[in-house]
Chain A
Amino acid sequence: MARVGVFTCFCGANIADFIDVPQVVEATKKIKGVKVSAEYKYMCSDPGQQMIRDAIIQNRLTSVVVAACSPRMHEKTFRKALSDAGLNPYMLEVANIREHSSWVHQKDKKAATEKASDLIRMAVAKSIANEQLHEISVPVTKRALVIGGGIAGIQAALDIADARIPVTLIERSPSIGGRMAQLDETFPTLDCSQCILTPKMVDVASHPYIELIPYSEVIELDGYVGNYKAKIRKKASYVNFSTCTGCGACTQKCPVKVSNEFNMGIDKRKAIYTPFPQAVPNKPVIDAEHCTMLLKGKCGICAKVCEKGSIDFKMVDEVIEREVGAVVVATGYDLWDPKPYEEYGVGRYKDIITSLEFERMVSASGPTNGLPLRPSDGKVPKNVVFIKCIGSRDEAKGIEYCSKICCMYTAKHAILLHHKVHDSHAYIFYMDIRAAGKGYEEFVKRAQVETAATYLRGRVSKIYKKGDKLIVRGEDAQLGQVVEVVADLVVLATAVIPYKENPPLARLLGISYDKYGYMSEAHPKLRPVETAKAGIFLAGCTQAPKDIPDTVAQASACAAKVCGLFSGDTMKKDPMISTINTENCTGCQNCVTVCPYQAIVTEEIPLGHGSKEMRIVAKINEGVCQGCGSCVAICRSMSINLAGFTDPQIINEIVSI
């Protein structure tokens, strides 16, 4: 005989303002099987939970229904309350009357109240069919896979490895370092990016617990939390890294010159190259798209000059496997292509560049030895116009969101310009200055006062050429006037967009991504580094645009999560998995075909008690089953059930409405 307790939450005013809670409580009392029906202001608070615990003990409840917020929010909290009172935690059902009723039917209290009563009735009916379940222990592979070797991946890898957990760090380009390696100085302190990054890169390469696999990408991820199996493709570098000393003779002699992506195409690199002088590992790779030896079979100069004989033109891609328990995704960002800004003459005028191009030019190790130069004639610019929000906050041409970092780096660029060219003047067109962060507002003030940059609030409508100058026509909204600035160089602060390969990678990993292509976190506020898939975490701009301090903080948070996951030798797993009734199983093996995890195998059991003849039945591998329920719906003999979502539970819900 079921004895159900129903506890309805006011959620402050969130539920109580839009649902007549006392009426719901009264209606609930009439439901068959309900022993207790109570209400409280905040069920999730300690007194609320105490109320549940007391009621379970006093009324010997067999199952509990909490009518409150989404089960995705507090299911765990209430399960704990149940188990504290000695009831199996899986005897809990949550009726979602906040997200599914009070918040979405705010104009119709009667309908919302009725719906809430219905949802509770469904949950009561389901809870009556609930079964006692127990958590499963599964072994954990204590190795983490970090995808991406930018500052996010580097920080996460170092923090995890410092806890003596082995890490495999993979990076798609020949060197780790990522976008941060391209920066000259960093806001708001103006410390040199390379100076703070390269020691960390060296640490990664020399750390005993880090396995660095550059020039590689993940192509497959199987398994589940604690027991993933990753397939990694090591792209052919045509250079044997184990014998190469990184002397650089090959890169000097290579006759093929191609646009240098590290310097944003401002200068040229060779077909055999290291991306930048401080690269880790500091070994060259051959760009197969441009090497004439690989394309036409002619040249081979690099092989001739290499004293170690490290060049191997016959090298092919290699696929390796790693067993890992957790994955950190840190793929980083790309920059938006400003081509749609045709009225600015993007693409027509050479002296319009992007911020990252400017950044490379002012970098001491950059293509112009640290001096900003006009691409058209190589002269040093005096008047430089910076335009912010190119693509950001622009629904018509770009993207809706704010890229977060442009206000700050544009202020930095104004200061750097002044440092490099003392008699120059910076004009900055902006929509708003968003400088929330420690020392950020002060930094912008520094650009405005010390550097005397002219901040003009307004959008630029047009840029046109006059002689060798560019005339930037815009609006100064504070004066209410149209202004024209004669510029030698125009720098566009282009929007941050997600790394272009994010969606295919997300699909491969089985995690979700938003409409822009950023990977989705499990909860925007409370679980910002986890994904909906257990054991996969997000760091840096793979989740949303971020500056370096935020990225590092998130990467360290990932590391803490990974270390927490690996704190024991086994891991508790949700018991909501499929079970097979071998009595009924006909051995058709439909379930084996549909299982996405290959969690179902077959076994032979005696045909009858003591019989020598055998028959085939399905068998679930508890550790592998993730509880999707595909097999349950396909089973013709109804021999499979999914714990927590059994047929009787769901049918009870349906018929109770």
Chain B
Amino acid sequence: MEAEVKTTQGAIVSVENPEITAPADWQPVIIGILCNWCSYAGSDLTGTSRIQYPPNIRIIRVPCSSRVDPWFIIKSLQATADGVLISGCHPGDCHYISGNYYARRRFLVTKKLLNFVGYHENRVQFSWVSAAEGPKFAKVVAKVTEDIKKLGPLHRYKKENF
């Protein structure tokens, strides 16, 4: 399901809650939780290769995508983030043998729960980025940022945030 940007009187409106709006120059905050061995290394490669991507993402390093507790995702959305990106090694390439399979299952359940309670499905996204895929990481971030921008803010506009 692709979301359309909703605006009222020049302000961007959240798809989940029409009461939450932000000014037109609003920039979403995205939390990226990346596994150390593939995606974090891949994001480092993006940097080393000087590939540019939108500056909205804030990256948190964890050893493996299986370390990502659904709590982290919920807490991110609750606290500050307008979107969350989880990224791990490609299936079969997990540094810890099978961690990313657990992550994938856990993530699907979490996502269903979040959809059930009313979050748009693009709020939280999952991807596989290997240590050699610098350009892919930039693409993933660009796509996620674009998706979240369409969904509008998740938190009430606070002046001090701008």
Contact = CB atoms under 8 A, between A and B. Distances in A.
A101 to B, nearest CB: 7
Contact of A72 (B41, B68, B89, B94): B41
Interface string B92-104: 1111111100100
A217 B79 CA distance: 52
Interface stretch (A201-209, A340-348, A627-635): A627-635
Nearest to A651: B75
B126 interface: no
A633 B132 contact: no
Contacts of B44: 70, 72-73, 96, 99-100
Interface in B21-37: 27, 29, 31, 36-37
A118 B58 contact: yes
A265 B62 CA distance: 51
Nearest to A630: B66
Given A100-B59, A514-B132, A597 B48 contact: no
Nearest to A114: B55
Contacts of B53: 104-105
A122 B95 contact: no
Given A70-B47, A104-B50, A122 B96 contact: no
A107 B98 CA distance: 39
A301 interface: no
B51 interface: yes
B33 to A, nearest CB: 8
A654 B72 contact: yes
Interface in A282-323: none
A278 interface: no
A141 interface: no
Interface stretch (A232-240, A378-386, A642-650): A642-650
Q: Size range of the interface on B? A: 35 or more
A628 B38 contact: no
A532 B37 CA distance: 7
Given A71-B61, A104-B53, A630 B47 contact: no
Contacts of B85: none
Interface in B70-127: 70-72, 75-76, 79-81, 89, 92-99, 102, 106
B79 A657 contact: yes
Nearest to A105: B55
Contacts of B130: 512
Contact of B66 (A107, A111, A633, A653): A633
B64 interface: yes
B146 interface: no
B96 A630 contact: yes
A626 B51 CA distance: 32
B63 A642 contact: yes
A597 B97 contact: yes
A96 B59 contact: yes
Interface string A566-606: 00000000001000000000000000001011000000000
A104 B106 contact: no
Interface in A611-657: 626-630, 632-634, 642, 645, 647, 650-651, 653-655, 657
B14 interface: no
B4 interface: no
Given A512-B38, A633-B66, A654-B31, A103 B47 contact: yes
Contacts of A73: 44
B103 to A, nearest CB: 8
A654 B79 contact: yes
A657 B33 CA distance: 13
Given A72-B44, A100-B47, A122-B60, A630 B67 contact: yes
A100 B61 CA distance: 12
Nearest to A222: B97
Contact of A99 (B31, B46, B92): B46
Contacts of A647: 69, 71
A596 B41 contact: no
A108 interface: yes
B12 interface: no
Contact of A107 (B52, B69, B102): B52
B138 interface: yes
Given A99-B48, A512-B38, A520-B132, A628 B63 contact: yes
Contacts of B72: 650-651, 654
A106 B52 contact: yes
B98 to A, nearest CB: 5
A628 B93 CA distance: 14
A481 B59 CA distance: 56
A569 to B, nearest CB: 27
Given A103-B50, A654-B79, A657-B80, A115 B67 contact: no
A99 B58 contact: no
A17 to B, nearest CB: 12
Given A512-B93, A628-B96, A633 B59 contact: no
A645 B63 contact: yes
Interface string A496-517: 0000000000110010101100
Contacts of B31: 654, 657
A112 interface: yes
A425 interface: no
Nearest to B106: A633
Nearest to B40: A72
A651 B58 CA distance: 14
21 contacts: A71-B61, A72-B44, A99-B44, A100-B47, A101-B55, A103-B48, A104-B46, A104-B50, A512-B95, A512-B132, A596-B97, A596-B98, A630-B67, A633-B67, A633-B102, A634-B102, A645-B67, A650-B72, A655-B75, A657-B29, A657-B79
* In the complex, the 4 A-B pairs of residues with the closest C-beta atoms, listed nearest first: A99-B47, A629-B67, A628-B96, A596-B97
Given A108-B55, A629-B62, A647-B71, 16 more contacts: A99-B47, A100-B59, A103-B48, A103-B50, A105-B55, A111-B27, A114-B55, A118-B58, A507-B92, A512-B38, A520-B131, A626-B96, A627-B63, A630-B67, A633-B102, A642-B63
